[in-house]
Each structure stands twice: as C-alpha cells, then as structure tokens.
Structure 1
Amino acid sequence: MKLFFAYTLLTASMMSRPNEAHVLRGHEHRHLEEETALHHPMICGTRDPTEQDIQQMVYVMETFENSTRRHLALNDDETIVINTVFHVIKNSNGDGPTPEMIQRQIDVINYDFAPHFQFNVTVQEVVNDSWFRLRFNRANEFEMKMNLRQGGAETLNVYIARANGLGWATFPSDYQSFPEMDGVVVQDLTLPGGSAPLGFDMGGTLTHEIGHALGLYHTFHGGCNGGGIYANNDKVSDVAAEESPAFGCPIGRDTCPGQGSDPIHNPMDYTADSCKVGFTPGQFKRMRNHWHAFRAGNTADSKSLGYPCTEQGLESKSCQAVEGLVGFGLKCCGGVCKFCAL
C-alpha cells in the first residue's frame, strides 16, 4: 500500500506541475545533484564508518554468525521486536508534528522493516524551545539526550525535532563508548505530511537513519571500489556500488560501469522517498547480525538459547582480544558473547 501511495504522489506532482518537473537525465540530473550538495549539505549527518568500524563489521559477518547464536542471527523467519521511544520535541508555540504524522511515521517504519523487524513505539512529547531547534553535535543535543534517553542498547531512542539536518544516527558499535548519545535524530519536517525539501517528506528519512542504527552504511560509501560483501562500498553483496549519492529518482543511473545499475531504490541512498522500494536480503541479514552482536539484551538472548547465563555473568568475564580486531574483543558466558573494548 505504501509503495502504491508513493507512486501516486510522484505522478500527481509531475502531472500538475509539468513545467517544474525535473527530467533526471544527463546534465539536468547532474545539476540537481550539484544544487542539492550546495544548498542541503547535511541530508544525513551520520558519520562515515572508520576502518575500525569496518573491521568489526567484517568480524561480525564472518565469525559472529557462525557462533553459538547462528540460528538466531540467520533465522529468516525471525521477527525482532524493538522497543522504541519517540521523543517528540515541540516549542512553546506548539510547533512540531501532529499525532497523525507520528502515527503515519510509525506505520512507515513497520512497513519498511517488515517482516524482520517490528517497532513497539512509545511516544513521549516534550516542550523545550532549546531542544526544538536541535543542532548536530552541539550542546543542546548532548543535553537533550542526557535528559531523555531511555533503556539500554536494545531500546531504540528516536528524537524528532526541528533539527539543522534531515537526520543522523549512531552505529551499533558506538554504544559501548558513548551510550548516552545512542539513537536516531530526524527533522520533524521529514515525517509523512511534512515539508522537507527534495522529496524527503514521506517518512523515509527515519527508515534510512534506523538502517544506520542497525549497522548499514550508505550505498555510495567507498564509491566504485568494487562490489561484494568485503569490498569498499556498502559491504553488502547484493547492493551494487555507486560513485556518489543519487537524488530525485534517476532511473537507469549507472556511475560504476560493470557493477550493475546504481541502487537508487535502496533506503540507504539519498533518492526521494517516493523512489525508495526496500532493503535487500543481504542488508536484512546484516541488520539481524548487528542486532544480536551489539544491541540485543543478553538476558533475553540467554533465555532464548536456554543457556544459564545472565548479564552479570557476562560482565564478570574479562575481555579477550580477538585477532585482527583492533581495540575490541569478546566476553562470553554460556555460549552467549558480546563485544567489549580492550
């Protein structure tokens, strides 16, 4: 239903304003990309993954899925339910998203991540003029998160405010070093019914940022330096490489010859919400693996596995170095393991 609605919106817009419609081909498409980069420099503020992030990711994909939790991480029929808190920030004038926009956003993420993930959302409305005008990596972001964040790594905290970027998120591996900053921020104008520019107004920004929070990179990360699971692009074998982010919906775009058409319909690109179709099986696999490796509550995992292991049991173990994984190791109890910093 969402995809049909998205297609209808795009078509209606183009028919009603034919003189303003961009034909996203050739120089006109390049012009849109240049204008977008100039006037909207922070579509996504999520940091680029470091070499250490990539080492961890490779370790998770190669080793963690072959551990005693393999049957959990690779169960295609598993639906992971994530307890989620929407912190809806409004100012004293009442500016901010309506309840209808919030509900539509919840519907969007549950659709986009089905059937592998489901979000059990609690909505908390907060009136704070300083936090409403949220600034990336500035004092009001730190203050807001320190005061509002709930739960542990297994709880997804989403902050919705009039931010100075469309959105940003933290990677799963960031939690151990900076638990207070964990979570996702999205600009309220990106929610369905909002007025964010360039077609980012149907709720796809939150889908994109949750993808980061579950371990996904941008489709254009690393450019054309090969495809495949251990190459320098998104590190997912069923996502084609692309040289740079795409905007609008440039059908047929191919910036990396010989590696397939650019993944413009993927949520982790920068194309308009109406252009997005969904995640690939490889991306879902990686998100499941990262959920179990970095975010799942260890007590819950132990119960599912039938092992007599608790969080206290894990904490009592020393952090054992893993060859090739700089700065990180594992602590295990009863067959359940989690990453730890050395």
Structure 2
Amino acid sequence: MKLGSAFLWTTAVGLSAAQNYTRCATPNPPEAQAGELDALVAEDGSSLASLLAQAATVRTYVHVVTSTSRQGRLLTIKQAMNRAYSDMGFTFSLMSTDFAVNNQWAASSLGSSAERAMKTALKRGSYGELDLYFTTDIPNRILGWCYFPVANPSSSELVLDGCVNLADSIPGGTAAPFNLGATAVHEIGHWLGLFHVWNGNSCSGAGDQVADTPIQSTPSYGCDVGKDTCPGGGVDNINNWMDYSDDACMDRFTAGQTSRATTLFNQLRSGR
C-alpha cells in the first residue's frame, strides 16, 4: 500500500536538512506486556476477512508544537495514513488541529517531563482515539516515538498515549530522506501493537511475532535491495513500514501485520 499524500503539509519551519537521523525511539515493551499482546492475538482466532469487515474510524487529533526560534506557517493539512492503512480497514478522521509555541515542549524527548507536560495540556483523545504530536526540536535527531497498547492503562499511560513525530518528517519537510511522511505511519504501527520487523535482533526466536514477515536481525537503512541478515527465510523487509529504510523505500504492511494490528485495536483500543 502506498503512502500517497499522507499528511501532506507545506511548512516554512526551516530546519537544517541532514540524513543521520534515528528513525524511531520507541523502546521494546516489557516482556510481560509483549507476551500479553501476543497472547491476545493468538487467542482471538478471527479470520483476516472478518477482521477487515470490522472497519474502524479512528478519531485523530493533531498537535503542532514549535519553539519561538522555529515558528513557521502551516499552509495546508491533509488527512494522513488513510492510504497506508486502507488495507487494514482503518480510516483516520481528523477531528481538530491545534498549534502551540513552547520551547520546552518542542524539544521534548521520550519519557521527559516536557513530554508529560505537553501531553497533559494538549491531549484530546481517548484510548481508542489517536493524538499525533508534530514537534520541531526533538533532540538527538530522533524522528519519533509512540506507545504500545496495554490491557489496563494507568492514568499515566493514558496521558502519555499517542505518537510524537519530528515536524520536518512530513511531506515538504527538510528531514530528507525521511520527509515523505513514513515516520507517522511507522509510529502508528506501534500504537496498533506492531513491533519492529527485526524485534529481538536475532535469526532465532519469534521476531516480531508475525509469521509472514521474514525473520531479520538488524534494521535496514537506505533502500538495501537484497539485504538478507537471516538466510533461508526470505530477504529482509526493507519495504515494510516497520523497518528503518528511507521513506521512499517503504510502502507495505503484510497480511499478518494487518491481522495483528486489527485484532489488538479491537481488543484493547476500540470504544475505550
């Protein structure tokens, strides 16, 4: 599935372009949480066809956070993710967009007090609704992070839920080669319960817990056609949204990822 015009933004934020970014800061979930997600998928037993028939519209709230030194004018916003996630049956319905100028929030990092303060002030959605934060000054050249679903979220987990993305990772931004919108698609994959395709960093074990993504032991960079870190099971998933390839190289989820994501959304997020 193609990214198309996922969150087609035109902006004058003006960050300096560079290629040495870190695609994702989302940590692997604790072992118990990962096991809980895997068990829910294994126990569900629904066919892919029946899961796809349960089409879900995800109410989505967008928050744009910039610092005073990087204020720019957002000219256009278009809906994101609908093409990338259309084969999963998800439609993302943009409910509102807000803008904030706050130096600390714009430079928030994963787990920081600034992240918590930003989300406490701006968050709009419930656990089954998506809050997307586009910030201009994420430190250490990190492109984004998100939070996996849990069965019984604490009050803290409810506040932190949602995805943070570097503003210049959107189409028209300056974070080349990561400026076609794939960061948001990737992070929402985590929000839906998908792991990185090299989860476990090994050629043995369950990997990302999805049967139809060939096992791989390392992330991919650029567009490394033919990369095969675990020979015998198929070449690495360089075109998969849950790898680390350049945006232009990423264009697909597998049927197994679709089944996992829709199952976990229905079990853990829908209606909550």
Fold-level match, TM-score > 0.5? yes
Residues 234-289 of structure 1, C-alpha deviations (whole Å, 9 max, x = no match): 11001011110000101111110111000000000000110012111111111111
Which residue is equivalent to 1:283? Answer: 257
Structural mapping, 1:288-307, within 5 Å: 288-297=262-271
Say whether residues 1:190 and 2:172 are aligned partners: no
Which residue is equivalent to 1:138? Answer: 112
Distance (whole Å) between structure 1 residues aligned to residue 165 and residue 126 of structure 2: 20
Distance 1:235 1:2, change over 3 A: closer
Distance (whole Å) between structure 2 residues aligned to residue 143 and residue 284 of structure 1: 33
SS of the residue 2:82 aligns to: helix
Distance (whole Å) between structure 2 residues aligned to residue 47 and residue 174 of structure 1: 18
Using the size of structure 1 for normalisation, the TM-score is: 0.68
Say whether residues 1:201 and 2:179 are aligned partners: yes
Structural mapping, 1:84-233, within 5 Å: 84-92=60-68, 95-96=71-72, 98-100=74-76, 102-103=77-78, 106-107=79-80, 109-115=81-87, 116-121=89-94, 122-162=96-136, 163-164=138-139, 165-173=142-150, 176-177=153-154, 178-197=157-176, 199-226=177-204, 231-233=205-207
Shift of 1:154: 0.8
Answer whether contact 2:146 2:190 (CA < 8 A) is retained.
Answer: yes
Residues 141-170 of structure 1, C-alpha deviations (whole Å, 9 max, x = no match): 110011111132111011110222200000
Shift of 1:131: 1.4
Distance (whole Å) between structure 1 residues aligned to residue 232 and residue 194 of structure 2: 23
Kindly report structure 1 stretches of 4+ aligned residues shifted beyond 6 Å. Answer: none
Distance (whole Å) between structure 1 residues aligned to residue 52 and residue 109 of structure 2: 38
Answer whether contact 1:73 1:285 (CA < 8 A) is retained.
Answer: no
Task: Kindly report the root-mean-square deviation, in angstroms, between the aligned alpha carbons of the 2 structures.
Answer: 2.5
Q: 2:52 aligns with which of 76, 82, 95?
A: 76
Which structure ranks higher in relative contact order (CA pairs < 8 Å, sequence separation ≥ 6)?
A: 2
Distance (whole Å) between structure 2 residues aligned to residue 160 and residue 174 of structure 1: 27
SS of the residue 2:253 aligns to: coil
Answer whether contact 2:216 2:230 (CA < 8 A) is retained.
Answer: yes
Which residue is equivalent to 1:325? Answer: none
In structure 1, the gaps of 5 or more residues are 6-35, 299-342
Shift of 1:172: 0.7
Shift of 1:196: 1.1
Distance (whole Å) between structure 2 residues aligned to residue 262 and residue 296 of structure 1: 32
* Structure 2 letter corresponding to 1:120: S
Distance 1:72 1:152, change over 3 A: farther
Using the size of structure 2 for normalisation, the TM-score is: 0.85
Answer whether contact 1:43 1:167 (CA < 8 A) is retained.
Answer: yes
Which residue is equivalent to 2:225? Answer: 251
SS of the residue 1:112 aligns to: coil
Distance (whole Å) between structure 1 residues aligned to residue 265 and residue 116 of structure 2: 24
Shift of 1:297: 1.0
Answer whether contact 2:151 2:268 (CA < 8 A) is retained.
Answer: no
Answer whether contact 1:240 1:263 (CA < 8 A) is retained.
Answer: yes
Count of aligned residue pairs for this structure pair: 253
* Structure 2 letter corresponding to 1:166: L
